[in-house]
Amino acid sequence: TVMVSAYGNMKNIRSAMNHGAYDFVTKPIDFADLEATIKKAIKEIELQKLAARTKKKLEQIQKELHAASEVQQSILPKKFSIFPPEYPFDLYAEMIPAKEVGGDFYDFFMLDNDHLGLVIGDVSGKGMASALFMAISRTLLKAVAHKGYPPADCLEQVNYLLSQDNPTCMFVTLFYGVLDLSSGDLIYCNGGHNFPYLVNSKGTVSALGGSSNIALGILEDAKFESSTIRIEDGQQLVLYTDGITEAINQQFEEFSEEKFRAYLSGCVHTPAREMIKELIREVNQFAAGMPQADDITTLVIRRMA
């Protein structure tokens, strides 16, 4: 509303504005001034309508992102007591996205009564595109793994499928291992990911060895090599993504591999769930309020003594 009045004192102007007037024009009317005032009022109204529409769209986007986050978390397994009673293993995993949705993922699944599949992955980029690529990668890997292919063949097939139709040139680093629950033997293949750590009962921390291979989704005819280790009683295997080691503090220092290994060394007898929860607290305390720049994901499995 543009108020036109012969009473142009401050009291009347304030009263008009308090009752919802956008502007105030006094008599005698200067039509050029009135026209400019009306145009300004119309522009302000249009801006307010645009702001309202934009706010509504943002609220809808936020709602959809929240729903996407819930869906993404729901596809990550949360039931950790999956082992037959004759196999005493302790397992826990968690993924904390840097944004509403993330590109990290973990997975674990029984391939038969005696073999467990273990997976961790990190998709390039952030946001919805990474989340979709993550879901595709996880689904493909699980489907191929359940056909009984060994880890290297499994990654070769998944890599071929991801590379076939990948116009965005996204890729995923991926670790996949098959654990024999009876013997503790782990056959694994690493697709450009951080090598997991093996922690023994004395607190010695060592990275798994073998070929690091290439990330999946880059070269469709890439070949992959696997390796084997044995997880002894009392030892634990720690899979993780670089969101942990590359978390930064106010001085732009990284949490680092050294701090991570030192933390793991002190968790020899800590249950897997408590170990991961405390690790996340340690990383957040180190960051001291700095925004989380990358997804944080880790999976721990311990062979009980």
Domain assignment present for residue 289? The answer is: yes
Statement to judge: residues 130 and 236 lie in one domain: yes
Phi then psi dihedrals of residue 87, to 5 deg: -120, 100
Confidence at residue 173, expressed as pLDDT on a 0 to 100 scale: 97
C-alpha–C-alpha distance, residues 180 and 93, integer Å: 19
Yes or no: say if 82 and 108 are a contact pair by the CB < 8 Å rule.
yes
Give the domain range for residue 19.
2-66
Statement to judge: residues 170 and 273 lie in one domain: yes
C-alpha–C-alpha distance, residues 252 and 190, integer Å: 29
Statement to judge: residues 113 and 215 lie in one domain: yes
Statement to judge: residues 177 and 205 lie in one domain: yes
C-alpha–C-alpha distance, residues 162 and 170, integer Å: 9
Statement to judge: residues 154 and 294 lie in one domain: yes
C-alpha–C-alpha distance, residues 200 and 115, integer Å: 21
Phi then psi dihedrals of residue 58, to 5 deg: -65, -40
Confidence at residue 13, expressed as pLDDT on a 0 to 100 scale: 56
Statement to judge: residues 154 and 289 lie in one domain: yes
Helix (H) or strand (E) holding 43: helix 31-75
Q: What are the 10-residue block averages of pLDDT along the chain, 305 residues in total?
A: 53 56 57 68 75 70 60 78 92 89 90 97 86 90 95 97 89 97 97 97 95 94 97 97 94 95 95 97 93 92 92
If one counts the domains in the chain, the total is: 2
Bridge-based pairing of strands 226-230 and 115-123 is unpaired
Statement to judge: residues 43 and 108 lie in one domain: no
Confidence at residue 46, expressed as pLDDT on a 0 to 100 scale: 77
- By C-alpha distance, which of 171, 151, 173, 155 is closest to 163? 171
Confidence at residue 47, expressed as pLDDT on a 0 to 100 scale: 74
Domain final position from 25, 44, 66: 66
Confidence at residue 4, expressed as pLDDT on a 0 to 100 scale: 56
Statement to judge: residues 40 and 129 lie in one domain: no
Domain assignment present for residue 18? The answer is: yes
Q: Which CATH number is 153's domain given?
A: 3.60.40.10
Domain assignment present for residue 71? The answer is: no
Confidence at residue 168, expressed as pLDDT on a 0 to 100 scale: 84
